[in-house]
Structure 1
Amino acid sequence: MLKKFIIFLLFIAALFAGAFYYAQQQLNQFLSQPLSLQQQEMLTVQRGANINSVLNQAIEANWVEASPFSQLVRRLHPELVDIKVGTFAITEGMTLQAMLELIVSGKEHQYSITFVEGSRFDEWRELLLEAQGLELVTTEMSEAEIAQELGIEQGKLEGLFLAETYNYTQGTSDLDILRRANRSLENHLDEFWSTKQDKLPLKSPYEALILASIIEKETSVAHERGLVSAVFINRLNRGMRLQTDPTVIYGMGDKYQGRIGRKGLDTPTPYNTYIINGLPPTPIAMVGKASLQAALNPEESDYIYFVASGKGGHVFSKTLAEHNRAVRAYLKHIRSN
C-alpha cells in the first residue's frame, strides 16, 4: 500500500514537473518572439502602468501574439516586472523580452535638437515648434514673458542661449530647453571671462557676448575667428567704428532683402555700426563656444580691416590702402564668376 502511495506521489510530482516545464517553455517562447515592426516605434509607459498593461500595449499594437502563459512573467521572471515610466524606442529585430528589459532599465529615448551658431531667436522658436516630443509652453508667450519666466534680466533674448545640440526626453518643455541653453551660455561666458586677455575694451561679459555674436556672423572659418576678433578689438581700442555689415542687416530687420545698399548703410539704427560708435546694444545672433573664446582671447595682430576673399575666407589688412586693394580683388573675383 505504501509503495503504491509513493508511486502515486512520484506520478503527481512528475506531472507537476512536466506541467511546469511546459509552461516555462511556452513562456520563454512568448518572451523570445521578435516584435512585428516595420520601423522603429515609440512606446510610452504612463504613470501607474505595470507589466500586464505593457504586455497588453504590445499585443494591441500587434507587435506580438497573445499567450495565456503571459501571466507567469511576474512569477518566473521577476526581473522584468519593475516597469519604468517614460517613452522608449522600440526597434526592429527586438524581442519582447528585450523590450521589457529596456523599459525596466529606464533608458528613455533621447530626442535631440540642434541650434546652429549664428542663428537668431526667432529661428530657435520655429525649431522648437517643429521638434518631436517637446511640450510647447512658450508658443503664445512674448519674448519678454519668456525672459521673465527664465529669470533673465534682459527683455531681448537674442544671443542669450548657447548654440549647440541638446538631448531631451519625451515631455520635456521648450522652456526647459531654453533654460538649459541659457545656463550653458552663462557658464561658458563666465569661464571665458575669468581667463580673458588683459586690457580688452570690453566692460562686461555681456559686451563680450555682443562681440562674440558679431564674430559668429562674420566668419564660419574656425581659424579666422581669432583674427576677426583682433580686428574688432583693435578698432575699438583706436576709437574706430566697427563698420560690420551683419549689425546693419540685423538693424534693418524685415527691410533687409538680401542687399544692404548705400541707403542701408546711411540709415540710422541702434545696430548700424557704420554710424554708431562702439558695440551695438545687444547681441545679433546666438553664439557657440569658439566665438566666445575668440572674443575674449583674440589673436595678436595689427589688422584693422578685413574683406571676403570670395573663396570662403577673408583677406586681412593693416592699412586702408591694403584693404582697398583687397576689396578691388574681391569685386573682380565676383564679376569673373
Structure 2
Amino acid sequence: MPEKTATRPLSFTVGVVILLLIFLATFFFVPGWNVNPEGLGQKKIVVHRGDGLRRIVRSIRKTGGARYETPLLVTAYLFPGLRNIKPGRYTIPPGHSNYSLLAYLHGHPQDEERITIPEGLRKERVAAIVSSRLDIDSLSFMRAATDSALLSSLDLQANGIEGYLFPGTYNFAWASTPEEVITFLVGRYRTFLTDSLRALARKQGLNEHDMLTLASIVEAETPLDGEKPLIAGVYLNRLKKNMRLQADPTVQYALGGANPRRLLYKDLAIDSPYNTYRHGGLPPGPIGSPGALAILAVLKPEKTSYLYFVADGKGGHRFARTISEHASNVRQYRHARREAEEKARRAVSPGQ
C-alpha cells in the first residue's frame, strides 16, 4: 500500500510537467493559434526608425498578423535575442508561431525597393524620387546632402553632393537612411571612375571635379547619346580658347526651380557664378548628376573644330565653326520653332 501511495504523487507531478511542457510548446512554438490566426496568407508590417517592441507588436496585431499582443511580448522577453528588429517593411508568410515570427523579423532581410535615378537630375529631384519610395523624407535627405561630416567622409568638396549621385537602377532596403542612400550612390560613381578614366581626365587638363562639372553640362544639353562626344568637344574647344561656355543649362541651374523653362534674354544677365554667359571657365560645380555616357564623352570627346551649336528643333543640334555659320543656324532654329508653334496652335484651334 505505501508504495502505491508514493507512486500517485509522482505520476501526478510527471503529468503536470508534461501538460506544462505541452502548454509552453504550444505558447511559443505552435503556429496558428495566435500568429495569423485566420490563416489568410501573407501580412505586411512596417517598422519605422525608433519604433520600440511594443509598437511593433501592436502593428502586427492591427494588421491581422496576431490575435493577441501579450504572447508575442512574453516570447520576446523570455528570448531577448529576438527583441532587436531592424526598421523596414516586411512581408510575413503564414505558418508562424510566436517564436518563429519574432525570429523571422529579427533575421530576415527587409523588403527592398527597386529605384531608377535618371541621368542629369539635380539633388532635389533625386531626393524627391528617393523619398517617394523609401522611408525617407526629402528634407532629411537634403540635410544629409549638406552635412559636413558626411561630405568629409565621402571626400567631397564643400559644395556638396551635386553631380556625385550616380544615375542607375538600384535596390534599396525600404528603411535605408539618407546617409546610406547618398553613400551608396557616391560609391557607385567612385566605382565607375577607374584609375584609367581619371588618367584620361588629366589628359584633358581637368581635375575630377571639373570633369564631372563639364559632364553635367553635356548631359543637360542633349538627350542624344550620339551627340554627347561632339558637344563635349565643342565645350573643350571653347575652354582652350578662353571663350565663355554660354551654356543655357548653367543659367537654368542658376535660376533654380524644379522644371527648367525656356530662357529669356533677361535671364542671361542673372548674377550667379553658374551663369556661363557672364563668367568665363566652368561653373563652381556640377549642375546635375551625369550618367556614364556623358562622363565618357568628356573623357573621350570627338575631335572637332566646331565652336558653336544650337538646337535644330528636332531634338538634336546644328554645329558651326564660325559665328556667321552659327547665326545662320540660329535663324533656322527660330524659323523651325515658329513653324512648330503655329502647327500646335492650329491643332488646338483648327477653325481659326
Consecutive unaligned residues in structure 1, runs of 5 or more: 1-19, 71-80
Q: Provide the rounded CA distance (Å) in 2 between the counterparts of 1:166 and 1:336.
A: 42
Alignment of 1:150-165 (within 5 A): 150-151=151-152, 152=155, 154-157=157-160, 158-165=162-169
The alignment-based identity, stated in percent, is 27
Q: Which residue of 2 aligns with 1:309?
A: 312
| Paired letter, 2:165 | F
> In structure 2, which of residues 216, 219, 230 is the aligned counterpart of residue 216 of structure 1?
219
TM-score when normalising by structure 2? 0.66
> In structure 2, which of residues 179, 183, 189 is the aligned counterpart of residue 179 of structure 1?
183
Alignment of 1:105-184 (within 5 A): 106-134=108-136, 138=140, 141=143, 145-151=146-152, 152=155, 154-157=157-160, 158-184=162-188
Q: Provide the rounded CA distance (Å) in 2 between the counterparts of 1:154 and 1:317.
A: 36
Q: Tell me the secondary structure at the aligned position of residue 336 of structure 1.
A: helix
Q: Tell me the secondary structure at the aligned position of residue 157 of structure 2.
A: coil
After superposition, the C-alpha distances for 1:173-220 in whole angstroms (9 at most, x for unaligned) are 1122112222333343354633517742x3311110110111111112
After superposition, the C-alpha distances for 1:7-42 in whole angstroms (9 at most, x for unaligned) are xxxxxxxxxxxxx9xx99xx6887999852698555
Q: Provide the rounded CA distance (Å) in 2 between the counterparts of 1:140 and 1:214.
A: 22
Please say if residues 306 and 321 of structure 2, whose CA atoms lie closer than 8 Å, have aligned partners that are also in contact.
yes
- 1:325–1:131 CA distance, 2 compared to 1 (3 A): same
- Is 1:261–2:248 an aligned residue pair? no
| Paired letter, 2:337 | I
| Paired letter, 2:308 | Y
Alignment of 1:218-237 (within 5 A): 218-237=221-240
Consecutive unaligned residues in structure 2, runs of 5 or more: 1-21, 73-80, 341-352
Q: Tell me the secondary structure at the aligned position of residue 291 of structure 1.
A: helix
> In structure 2, which of residues 275, 292, 297 is the aligned counterpart of residue 294 of structure 1?
297
Q: Provide the rounded CA distance (Å) in 1 between the counterparts of 2:229 and 2:175.
A: 40
- 1:96–1:223 CA distance, 2 compared to 1 (3 A): farther
TM-score when normalising by structure 1? 0.69
After superposition, the C-alpha distances for 1:248-274 in whole angstroms (9 at most, x for unaligned) are 2223346x9834322222444322222
Aligned residues: 321
After superposition, the C-alpha distances for 1:86-107 in whole angstroms (9 at most, x for unaligned) are 4676669x54269969758723
Q: Tell me the secondary structure at the aligned position of residue 242 of structure 1.
A: coil
